[in-house]
Amino acid sequence: MTLRDAVPYVAAAYLAVWVVVLLYVGIIGRKLGRIERQLDELAPPSGDGERQP
Amino acid sequence: MRALGRPSTTVPLILSLILVPLTVVLAFWWTGDDVDQGFSQKIFYLHVPVALASYAAFGYGAVCAALYLWRRDPEWDLRSYVGVHSGTIFGTLVLLTGPIWAKASWGVWWNWGDRQINVFLILFLYYCAYFMLRFSLDEGERRRSASAVYALLGVGLIPLSFLAVRIAETLIHPTVFTSSGAAMPDTFFLTFLVGLAGMLSLMALLMSVELRGKRAAARLVEYQRAARGEDA
C-alpha cells in the first residue's frame, strides 16, 4: 500500500480514538457538573468550624 | 459508603498531556516506516497500547470485584464497575482501530479465522453483558455480589485473548513480542512504550474522574433520601 493510500486509514484510526475519548470526557464532565450542582443545592450545612457563635 | 481514598487526577492528567501528544510526535516524526506494512504501521502505536490499557482496566475491575467479595465494602464494587466501564470504552477503541489497521495492512476488515481478534470480541461482548446484568438488578447487596462474581469470571478471558495470537500462529496477526524480546527496531519499541504509558495514564485519568462522579452521585442519593426523611 502506498503512502497516499495508507494516510486515510491512519487518519481514521487516530481520529476515531480522539472522537471517542473526547465524547467520553464530555459526557462524564457534563454528568459530574450536573451532580455537583445538585449536591451544592442539597448539601447539609458544613462543620462546626463555620458556625457563628 | 466509606471512602478508600480519593484517587488523584493531577498526576495522570499531567502524564496524559505529555505522553499522548509525545507518542504522536515520535510515531510520525521519529520512527521510520515499517518495511512490510509501510505508513499504516503507525496505527500500531495507538491500537496495541489501547488494547493493553483495556486489558488492564478489565483486570483492575476483576481485582476490585474480588476485594468486594472479600471485604463487602461498596467502594470496591464502585471501583470494579468503573474498571469494567473504562475497559469497555477502550475495548470499543480496539474494535474501531483494529479493523481499520487490518484493512490497511491486510486488505480485510475482519478475519473470523483469527483467534486473537475473536477472543477479544468475546471478551468485549462478555463485559458489555456485565452492564445488562448489573442494571437488571435492584441496587443493593445482591446486585453488587452478582456484578462482582461476573466481573471476576471474565478475567480468565484476558490471558486467553493475549495468548491466542501465540497459540494460533496465524500470519494475519503476527507475534511482535516474543520470549526473546520485541521483534522491532529500538525506535519503534520506545515509541510503543511511550504510547503504552500515555494510554495507561489516560485510562487512569478517565477512571479517577468517573469514580469521582459515581461517588458524588451516591452522595446525592443519600442527601435526597435524607431530605425526604428516608433512612439512608
Sequential DSSP letters for B104-157:
HHHS-S--TT-HHHHHHHHHHHHHHHHHHHHHHS-TTHHHHHHHHHHHHHHTTH
Q: Which residue of A has its CA nearest to B35?
A: A1
Measure A51 CA to nearest chain B CA, in Å.
21
Determine which of B199, B209, B215, B221 to mutate to test the interface with A (most A C-beta atoms within 10 Å).
Answer: B209
**Which residues in B have their CB inside 8 Å of a CB on A?**
24, 33, 37-40, 42-43, 46-47, 50, 89, 92-93, 96-97, 100-101, 103-105, 202, 206, 209-210, 212-213, 216-217, 219-220, 223-224, 226-227
Tell me the three cell numbers of residue B208. 479517577
Q: Which residue of A has its CA nearest to B101?
A: A9
- Residue B177 forms beta bridges with which residues? B182
* Interchain CB distance below 8 Å, B220 and A39: yes
Q: What is the pLDDT along chain B (232 residues), one digit of tens a residue?
A: 445 566 678 888 999 999 999 999 998 888 877 777 788 888 999 999 999 999 999 999 999 999 999 999 889 999 999 999 999 999 999 999 999 988 888 888 888 877 778 888 988 999 999 999 999 998 888 999 999 999 998 888 778 776 766 666 655 566 666 666 667 788 889 999 999 999 999 999 999 989 988 888 888 888 888 877 765 4
Give the pLDDT score at B39.
82
pTM of the entire predicted model: 0.84
Residue type, B193: L
pLDDT digits (tens, 9 = 90+) for A24-44: 888 988 888 888 888 888 766
Q: Number of H helices and number of E strands within chain B?
A: 7, 2
Q: Give the domain ranges of chain B.
A: 10-22+50-218
Q: What CA–CA distances, in Å, run from B77 to B43, B63, B91, B226?
A: 35, 10, 21, 23
Listed residue (B161, B7, B132, B155) closest to B67, CA to CA: B155
User: Cβ of A18 under 8 Å from any chain B Cβ?
Assistant: no
Q: Give the domain ranges of chain A.
A: 3-41
User: Cβ of A11 under 8 Å from any chain B Cβ?
Assistant: no
Sign of CA dihedral B175, B181, B183, B189: positive
Which positions in chain B touch A13 (Cβ < 8 Å)?
A: 43, 46-47, 96-97, 100-101
SS3 state of residue B109: coil
Give the pLDDT score at A45.
60
Which positions in chain B touch A21 (Cβ < 8 Å)?
A: 93, 202, 206
- Picking from A7, A10, A17, the nearest residue to B93 by CB comes out as A17
ipTM surpasses 0.85: no
Does the pLDDT at position A48 exceed 60?
A: no
